[in-house]
Amino acid sequence: MRYAIISDLHSNLDALERVIEDIKKQKVDRHLCLGDIIGYGAQPNECIRLVREELKCLTIAGNHDWAALGKTNIDYFNAYAKEATLWTREQLSEDEVKYIDSLPLIEHLPEDFTLVHGTLYNPELFDYIQTSYDAYLSLQALDGRVCFLGHSHVPITFFQGEMISYTLSQEISLEVGVKALVNVGSVGQPRDDNPKASYAIYDTDKRKVWIRRIEYDIESAGKKIRDAGLPEVLAERLKYGR
Ligand code: ZN
């Protein structure tokens, strides 16, 4: 099976549309979404529609999805994230609220891999995996072979061999007997100093993952953020991938 795995779309329709064009050339069997469909950007409804109806993604919830529904405390969000969350909440229809509310925090796929937004231990806390020790904690909690995640908006893969190692490579081989955590990066707000949208292709027969980086119209996404009255910084950061 070949999967396209997207995460952290953050209401950025310009980025999502270009990513979908690329996915269509990749001959995938199924689409997976690791959460944070909304929050930050100006087109939450359009992004929800594409994930649900166009891609028919198997989707899990991220912290911004929960935040828009009031399911998680936004006191720890920075001022811009808070403002965007409150704006997003106003945009959602009853049906969209129901859909987001129905999303689970973890999914296990039959081919021995798992999906989560932040961490495998206490996924409802939405902690970040940034160090080898953070990765170790989630690898310990991983039943299967591979876990795909998002949340930090930085594509990186951690492996559990005798030690924890990692790679920033865009072509990742998943060796038998080595557990891995694959962060697929962010479609709508990359933060690894590369402004191109990020997503992953996973081929379970070849045991390979490819991180793909896709150019999109950043000016257009930024203009929509400004026109919606959302904080300027949310438009500006897209240019730098931060
Ligand atoms: Zn996110």
| DSSP-derived secondary structure for 54-102 | IS--EE---HHHHHHTT-S--TTS-HHHHHHHHHHHHH--HHHHHHHHT
Question: What is the band of 1 on the pLDDT scale with cuts at 50, 70, 90?
Answer: very high
CA of 67 to the centre of ligand 1 (A): 11
CA of 176 to the centre of ligand 1 (A): 30
Tell me how far apart the alpha carbons of residues 25 and 236 are, in angstroms, rounded to a whole number: 30
CA of 162 to the centre of ligand 1 (A): 31
Question: What is the band of 162 on the pLDDT scale with cuts at 50, 70, 90?
Answer: confident
How far CA 204 is from CA of 28, 111, 112, in Å, comes to 11, 8, 10
Q: Which CATH superfamily is domain 2-239 in?
A: Metallo-dependent phosphatases (3.60.21.10)
Residue 189 pLDDT greater than 90, yes or no: yes
Beta-carbon contacts of 147 under 8 Å, excluding residues fewer than 6 positions away, are: 113, 114, 115, 116, 120, 138, 180, 181, 182
The per-residue pLDDT for 238 is 98
DSSP 172-187: EE--TT-EEEEE---S
CA of 191 to the centre of ligand 1 (A): 10
Tell me how far apart the alpha carbons of residues 14 and 189 are, in angstroms, rounded to a whole number: 11
Q: For residue 120, how many other CB atoms are within 10 A of its CB?
A: 19
Secondary structure class of 21 (helix, strand, coil):
helix
The per-residue pLDDT for 177 is 87
CA of 109 to the centre of ligand 1 (A): 22
The rounded mean pLDDT for the chain is 97
CA of 62 to the centre of ligand 1 (A): 7
Tell me how far apart the alpha carbons of residues 118 and 73 are, in angstroms, rounded to a whole number: 16
Mean of pLDDT values over 61-80: 95
Mean of pLDDT values over 65-75: 94
Percent over 90 (pLDDT), the chain: 95
**Which of 59, 118, 23 is closest to 15 using CA atoms?**
23
The per-residue pLDDT for 76 is 87
Percent over 70 (pLDDT), the chain: 100
Q: Is the pTM of this model over 0.85?
A: yes
CA of 145 to the centre of ligand 1 (A): 24
Beta-carbon contacts of 114 under 8 Å, excluding residues fewer than 6 positions away, are: 106, 107, 108, 120, 142, 143, 144, 146, 147, 148
How far CA 120 is from CA of 127, 144, 147, in Å, comes to 9, 12, 9
CA of 55 to the centre of ligand 1 (A): 19
The model's pLDDT over 194-226, given as tens digits with 9 standing for 90+, comes to: 999 999 999 999 999 999 999 999 999 999 999
**Which residues are near ligand 1, the ion (C-beta closer than 5 Å)?**
8, 36
The per-residue pLDDT for 236 is 97
| Amino acid code (one letter) for 109 | L
CA of 148 to the centre of ligand 1 (A): 14
Residue 161 pLDDT greater than 90, yes or no: no
Residue 16 pLDDT greater than 90, yes or no: yes
The per-residue pLDDT for 223 is 98
CA of 12 to the centre of ligand 1 (A): 12
Tell me the helices (H) and strands (E) count for the chain, helix number first: 8, 12
Mean of pLDDT values over 78-97: 97
Residue 35 pLDDT greater than 90, yes or no: yes
